[in-house]
A = this chain, B = another copy of it.
Amino acid sequence: MRTKSSAPTMKDVAQEAGVALGTVSKVFNGIPVGESYRVRVQEAADRLGYQVNNYARGLKTNKTFTAAVIIPSTTHPFFSLLTEELSRALSLRGYRTLLAITSFDLASEQQCIEMVRQNKVDGIIALTYNPDLRIDDSLPFVSIDRFYSASIPCVSSDNYGGGQLAAEKLHSLGCKNLLFLRSGSSVPGEPDKRGAGFEAYCQLHRLSSQSLRIDDTEGIRPILDFIDSQIRDGHFPFDGIFCSTDHLAVDVLNHLTLRGIPCPEEVQLIGFDGLKDFFTHKPVCSTIVQPVSEMARTAVDILLSQDRFRLSALTCLPVRYQAGGTTREDVSGS
C-alpha cells in the first residue's frame, strides 16, 4: 500500500468543506446526508485530492463494500437485465459488484462461491442451478429464484400468481382448451410454480387443460414434436398456450407459424419474463412481466439488512400481464 505523509485526511476534508468530521465520514460510508452537504464534501475532497482508501477502510471496519453477483450468463436478456439492475442497486447503496459468470456450469457455481468468499466480499447474491450448492452461514447470501433453506433468503417474482394470471387471461380472452408448456432446468426452483399456479386456476374453474414439462437438456424438440402430433387436418386442438418463458413462447410461436396455425387468431399464447426485442423495444410476445428492478433492489436490501434474522425466507414480488401481439386484446383494453 502506498502512503504519503502529505496525503489529505478526512479531517482536512471536513475543515475544507466547513462541515463536521462525522458528516464527511457519513458521505464516504454511503450513509445518507443532505444533498448540499454531500456535494460540499465531495467538492472539498476533489479540491484536496482526497481519496477514500477502501482497502485500509476494510482493515478497520472489516468491510469491503463489495458484493458478489453470481449469475449464469450476461448474454441472456433476462440475466443481463438482472445483472444491470443488481449492479445499480448495489451502487446506490455504496457497494461495488464483483461479477461471477458461471455459464450454467454446476461445478463452476460452487467454485464461484468459494472464490468470492476468499475475496472477502461482504455478501453474495446468486442465481444458481446447483442443487447441492454448499452455502455456509458465515456470509450474507441472498438467492434469486432458488429456495435453499429457511436461513437463506430467496427473492423471486410471484411465479405461482403469474401462472394463475396467465390462465385467467387466456380464460377471459375466450380460450376453452388450455396447454401449459415448460422447458427448464431439472433443478427445482421458484419458476416451477408457474405451471402449478396455471393448473390450479384451470382446476378451480374446471377448464380443460394439459401440461407438458421437459428438461432443457433435451432441447425443445420434444415440445415441437408434441405440437406436431396434435395437429390434425391443419387444426390444433388447443386455443390457449401458456409457456414457462418468453424464449419458449417465441420458439412455439415460430413453429406454429411454420405449421400454418395463425397466432393469435387460432391459438393465443402467453409467455413469462417480459423480454423486449432489443431493436424495437417491443415485447416479444404477450407475457407475464417479472419486476426485475424491484427484485434487484429487494435482494440488495435484504443482503445489506442489519437484521437478517427477521427477514422473510421467501419474498415473491408482484408480476403483471402485458399484451404483446400473441393474444386477442380489445383495442381499448390490454
Contacts and interface: CB of A to CB of B under 8 A. Distances in A.
Interface of A: 1, 51-55, 58, 62, 64-66, 69, 73-77, 80-81, 83-84, 87-88, 91, 96-101, 103, 114-120, 247, 250-251, 254, 275, 278-280, 284
A252 to B, nearest CB: 11
B66 A119 contact: yes
Interface of A is mostly: mixed
Contacts of A52: 118
Contact of A99 (B98, B120, B284): B98
A51 B61 CA distance: 22
A115 B51 CA distance: 9
Contacts of A51: 114, 117-118
Of A51, A64, A83, A114, the most chain B CB neighbours within 10 A belong to A83
Contacts of A80: 74-75, 80
Given A99-B98, A117-B51, A75 B77 contact: yes
A286 to B, nearest CB: 15
B96 A97 contact: no
B87 A99 contact: yes
A233 to B, nearest CB: 29
A58 B53 CA distance: 15
B99 A62 contact: no
The oligomer's copy count stands at 2
A125 to B, nearest CB: 13
A11 to B, nearest CB: 18
A305 to B, nearest CB: 22
A101 B251 CA distance: 31
Contacts of A247: 278-279
A18 to B, nearest CB: 23
A247 B251 CA distance: 23
Nearest to A1: B62
10 contacts: A54-B118, A55-B118, A65-B119, A76-B278, A87-B99, A87-B101, A88-B103, A98-B98, A99-B99, A247-B278
A114 B250 CA distance: 43
B114 A77 contact: no
A119 B74 CA distance: 23
Of A62, A88, A101, A284, the most chain B CB neighbours within 10 A belong to A101
Given A51-B118, A75-B81, A80-B74, A88 B100 contact: no
Nearest to A115: B96
A274 to B, nearest CB: 13
Contact of A119 (B96, B101, B114, B116): B96
B75 A96 contact: no
A96 B119 CA distance: 9
A275 B321 CA distance: 29
A98 B98 CA distance: 4
Contacts of A53: 118, 120
Contact of A279 (B120, B279, B284): B284
